[in-house]
Structure 1
Amino acid sequence: MTWQRAQRLDADRLVADLYAQTGVRLVVEGPCAGGEVGAAFVRWAETGRRSVLKWRPHSRLEELQAGPLAVQKAAVQAGIPAPATQLSAQVGHAVAMVQELLPGEKVDLLDEDLLDQALRLNALQAGVLRGREDIPSVKLFLREDGPGYCLHEPLRQHSARGAALERMIKAVPDSEMPAGNDVVHLDFHPGNLLASGKVITGVVDWDGAARGNRAFDLVTLRFGIHHRADTNVTNRLDDVLNQLPESVLKPAWAHMSLRMTDWAIRHHAPTEVSQWFDLAEQRLS
C-alpha cells in the first residue's frame, strides 16, 4: 500500500506568497540540512540579515501563536537557546515563519559532553509554563491518529509485527502523561541541536512545542540517538529513563514508538522500519 507522504517546503513559492501577503521581500539562499518537512536559509532583501524560513502546512496562525510560538518565547526567557520568531503569517492553508538564525552547526553525533549539556537544557524546562494553562498540553495520540503523524493504520497494515506493536501501544493504561507545567519541545533530538565546537548554541524546530512533562523530551532524545551514539551515551540516557515513573515513561515511549514506526513505514526504507520496531519493543513488549 502507498501511504500519503508529508508535504515538503517549496521555499521559492512560499517567499513569493509571503511577499504578496506582507510586503516583506526575502531572498532564498538554499535549504537547511536535515529535517523531514524542510526549512530554508533566507536573506531579508532590505537589510541583508540572514534568517531561517519555516512553514507548517494545514495550520492556523492563531493556534501556533497560542501554542508552539508561545512555548518557544517562554523557552527563550528561561535561558534556553531557542530562536526568536521575526515574522509569521497565514499563507493559504499554511503558516509561514521567519526565525532567527542561531550560530552553530547541526549535531551529528551526541557524545557524553553534549549529552550533559542536553540534560542541563532539559532541566531548564522545568516549571517554565506554570500558570499558563492557556497553552495546550502535549497530546500523545495513543488511541487515535495525530494530525499527519502518529497514524495507526500504517502499523496495522504493514505486518503482523506492526499490528502487534500497535496493539501494545493502544494497551498502555494511561493514554496521556501526567499533567505538567514544563516546556516540552516535542522533537528534542540531535538533529535539532546546534553546536559550535563542543558547546550547544541552539535548539531549533519548536513547531510542535507544548506544555507538559519535560521527561517527554528525554524519551524523544533516546529515540533520536538510536544507532547514532556510542554505547556509553545510550546507556547513560537509559539510566536516566529508568528513574522515571512508569506513568511518565510508558506513555511517552508508546508515543515515540508510534510516531517513529509510522513515519518510517510511510517515508523510509524497510530496514529502518525494522530498527524502530526493535527499539519500540524494548519497553513495550
Structure 2
Amino acid sequence: MTEAVRRAWPRSARLDAPHILERIAEITGVRLVLEGPAPGGEVGAAYVRWPDGRRSVLTEGRSRSGPLVDRARNAGVPTARHELAAHVDGARVIVQQRLPGQPPEQPDAHLVRQMLAINDRLAGLLADVPAPKPSDLHLIGDGPGFCLHQPLQEHSTRSAALLRRIHEIGATGTVMIGDDLVHMDFHPGNVLVDPTGRVTGLIDWDGATRGDRHFDLVTLRFVLTGRSAALLTPLDQRLAGLSDRRYNAYWAHMSLRMVDWSIRHHDATAVDHWLDVAESGFR
C-alpha cells in the first residue's frame, strides 16, 4: 500500500474546539471557556467551562442520543446529561456534563465485572418505544464514515481475505435487532473510574441505538482479546449462549470497524494487531 493510496481514503477530522466554541457563542450567545483537551478518543473531546464556573465536555455527536443517555441514567448507569447542542458548520456538537473520574490505566477483573453489571441494566430498556428500522451492521456496504470496505480490499491480501469473510457473514443478515439499549462502543476507554476502581461514568454514547446488548459484550471481548483469562473468561461465559450466527455477525462488524479505522488513521502495527484479533475470534 502506497502513502498516496492511504491519503485517498477519507479520514475523520479532529475536533477543532476553539473554532467550535466561537461558533457556539455566535449561534447561542453562550460563551464557553476552553480548558484543554480531554484524554482518549479517536476524534477528540475538550474540557470547557461555563460562565457560572460549571465544567463540561465538548464533543461532536448526535443530539438524538440524549434521550437514550437519559434512559440509561434512569436505569442506574452513570451517564452525563446533555447541556447544550448546536449545529456547527455541518456537524452536530454537544456540551455535556463532566463526570468525575478518569479512564482506567489498565482494565482488570473488577472493571469487567462492573461493565457486565452495566450491560445487564441495558436489557429491555427500549421495549416500550416503537421500533425504528433495525440497526445496520454495515457488513455488505459502507457505514457513515466508518466500516468502510475499500480500505480492506486494497490494503493487503490478508485484509482482503478478511473482507471476503465479512461479506460471507453479511450474506446471512446485516442488521441487529432487539429491545435493549446498545452503547455501540463499549470498551474500557469509554469508562471513567475513581481511585478505588469504582466506575463513575460510561461516556461516548454517540452511536447508541436499539438492538441486542450482547453486541456490547462482543465489542468488549474484541478489544480485550489477548488479555488474561481473568478478564476474558467472564465475557466468554456470558457469550456462550449467543448463537454462532449472531456472534459472528457482531464480530464481523467489529473486525471491519477496527481494521478499516486503523488502515485509515494508524500505522501498520495497529493494522496487524486488529487483523490478528479479527482472525482469532470467529466461531
Q: TM-score over 0.5 for the alignment?
A: yes
Query: Which of 156, 171, 177 pairs up with 2:153?
Result: 156
Q: Provide the TM-score with structure 2 as the length reference.
A: 0.92
Q: Deviations over 1:87-113 (max 9, x none)?
A: 111112011100011111112322111
Aligned to 1:144: 141
Q: Deviations over 1:240-263 (max 9, x none)?
A: 223311232111100000000000
**Is the alpha carbon distance of 1:135 and 1:209 closer, same or farther for their aligned partners in structure 2, counting shifts above 3 Å?**
farther
Q: Provide the TM-score with structure 1 as the length reference.
A: 0.92
Aligned to 2:96: 99
CA contact under 8 A between 2:140 and 2:174: conserved in structure 1?
no
Aligned to 2:75: 78
Once the two structures are superposed, the pairs formed by residues 201-240 of structure 1 within 5 Å of their partners are 201-227=200-226, 229-240=227-238
CA contact under 8 A between 1:71 and 1:211: conserved in structure 2?
no
Query: Which of 42, 55, 60 pairs up with 2:60?
Result: 55
Instruction: Compute the displacement of 1:132 (Å).
Output: 1.5
CA contact under 8 A between 1:125 and 1:182: conserved in structure 2?
yes
CA contact under 8 A between 1:143 and 1:175: conserved in structure 2?
no
2:222 alignment partner AA:
F
Greater alpha carbon shift after TM alignment, 26-35 vs 235-244: 235-244
Instruction: Compute the displacement of 1:121 (Å).
Output: 0.3
State the alpha-carbon separation in 2 of the partners of residues 97 and 237 from structure 1.
32
1:140 alignment partner AA:
L
User: Secondary structure in 2 aligned to 1:183?
Assistant: strand
State the alpha-carbon separation in 1 of the partners of residues 14 and 132 from structure 2.
27
CA contact under 8 A between 2:66 and 2:81: conserved in structure 1?
no
CA contact under 8 A between 2:134 and 2:176: conserved in structure 1?
no
2:87 alignment partner AA:
Q
State the alpha-carbon separation in 1 of the partners of residues 155 and 173 from structure 2.
23
Identity fraction in percent = 45
State the alpha-carbon separation in 1 of the partners of residues 154 and 176 from structure 2.
31
Instruction: Compute the displacement of 1:125 (Å).
Output: 0.2
State the alpha-carbon separation in 2 of the partners of residues 37 and 277 from structure 1.
22
Instruction: Compute the displacement of 1:232 (Å).
Output: 2.0
**What root-mean-square deviation, in Å, do the aligned CA atoms of Structure 1 and Structure 2 show?**
1.6
State the alpha-carbon separation in 2 of the partners of residues 103 and 110 from structure 1.
18
User: Secondary structure in 2 aligned to 1:273?
Assistant: helix
CA contact under 8 A between 1:182 and 1:211: conserved in structure 2?
yes
2:254 alignment partner AA:
M
Aligned to 1:165: 162
Instruction: Compute the displacement of 1:80 (Å).
Output: 0.9
CA contact under 8 A between 2:38 and 2:44: conserved in structure 1?
yes
State the alpha-carbon separation in 1 of the partners of residues 248 and 114 from structure 2.
25
Q: Deviations over 1:255-285 (max 9, x none)?
A: 0000000001111111111111111112338
State the alpha-carbon separation in 2 of the partners of residues 178 and 226 from structure 1.
23
1:10 alignment partner AA:
D
Unaligned runs of 5+ in 1: 57-63
Query: Which of 249, 252, 260 pairs up with 1:251?
Result: 249
Unaligned runs of 5+ in 2: none
CA contact under 8 A between 1:81 and 1:203: conserved in structure 2?
yes
CA contact under 8 A between 1:70 and 1:135: conserved in structure 2?
no
